Amino acid sequence: MKIIKVIAVIIISVVLLSAMLATYVYVALPADKPVAALQIERTPARIERGKYLATHVAVCIDCHSTRDWSAFSGPVVPGTLGKGGGIMDHSKGFPGDIRTPNITPFGLKDWSDGELVRAITTGVSKNGKAIFPLMAYPRFGAMDKEDIYSIVAYIRTLQPIENVIPETTLDFPVNLINNTLPRDAHFTDLPDEKNIIKYGKYLVNAAGCVDCHSKNKNGKIIKGTEFGGGMEFKQPAGIIRAPNITMNKENGIGHYTSESFVIRFKAYADSSYKLQKLTPGELNSPMPWIMYSGMKTSDLEAIFAYLNSVKTLDNDVEVRSLKKK
């Protein structure tokens, strides 16, 4: 009987401790991150820089607008800039029902500039809740603070769109794990463009290339797979995988030159380009080619130079897998 009592006490203790820990993680986390008393001046230079970053590099506009998935790469639907409402749910392989918020002045009317900077760079929302890291705050928190200020200045100028977005809901235990993820920002200085590899690395971080072009497990990049491709995107017609963008000549982009790399992107910015409509059952590229095509040629060249400096991986990716009928 003594053994049974001891086992019972141990089990009850473990259950109680687990419950206490879960309650702490759910209620007490994320740890409060201070909100800076900011009033970001909306200068023409900041707004122009912010528009460039939000539209063509960090592509905030891509996620926070309506995309037309009936056309190649899901171009943004005109008149929807910043309205939010994108859904990432179980059908796409996500652990819950994740919604992209409205970032027009309608959605952000009660937010201070300091709260916006905190959310973008540390992952803590206005209400103190943790933001799901699909909004890549660890990357944005490593950018130049002035670039973040410019993005905030620009989104403050968007046309207000009345669109109320439901809150994101996450599955257990992801809802608890998510509360442990916010981190302090560690801003860096914008590198000199003459240091092309360092500058390219900065742009690659801002653009999030590694997030998609790597393998991941439970939402984390598997170390050693960076830029080697393999991340899966579930679609009704099957699965599309991010390709290897290391300089492997057989399975990566080693056959590209800097010039052909730039041309690959700029093709979608050409005035003669017409949106390609997909046929039923066709897989679509999740990469916002049309938005990235607006990057400056020198920035694309810097990205190529940086990719040329990373470890080459011989990872043969089956980019498209159609569902068997």
pLDDT in tens, 107-149: 999 999 999 999 999 999 999 999 999 899 999 999 999 999 9
Distances (CA, A) of 144 to 91, 117, 149, 206, 278: 36, 12, 9, 10, 39
Q: Is 80 exceeded by the pLDDT of residue 177?
A: yes
CA distance 118 to 134: 16
- Over residues 223-232, mean pLDDT: 95
| 254 φ/ψ sector (left φ>0, alpha ψ -120 to 50, else beta) | alpha
- By residue count, the chain amounts to 325
CB 147 within 8 A of CB 53: yes
Token look-up 């971080």 returns 205
CB 315 within 8 A of CB 270: no
- Over residues 151-179, mean pLDDT: 95
Token pair recorded at residue 29: 């986390």
pLDDT in tens, 178-226: 999 999 999 999 999 999 999 999 999 999 999 999 998 877 899 999 9
Closest CA to 289 of 275, 271, 307: 275
Closest CA to 235 of 93, 135, 86, 74: 93
Mean pLDDT for the chain overall? 90
CB 192 within 8 A of CB 86: no
Q: Give me the pLDDT at residue 4, please.
A: 53
Measured between its terminal Cα atoms, the distance across the chain in Å is: 60
pLDDT in tens, 1-56: 555 544 444 444 444 434 444 443 444 455 567 888 899 999 999 999 999 999 99
Hey, what amino acid is at 226?
E
- What confidence tier does 316 reach under pLDDT thresholds 50, 70, 90? very high
Q: Is 90 exceeded by the pLDDT of residue 266?
A: yes
User: Residues 6 or more apart from 298 whose CB is under 8 A from it?
Assistant: 193
Residue 119 main-chain phi, psi, to 5 deg: -65, -45
Measured in whole angstroms, the distance separating CA 124 from the mean position of its chain's CA atoms is 15
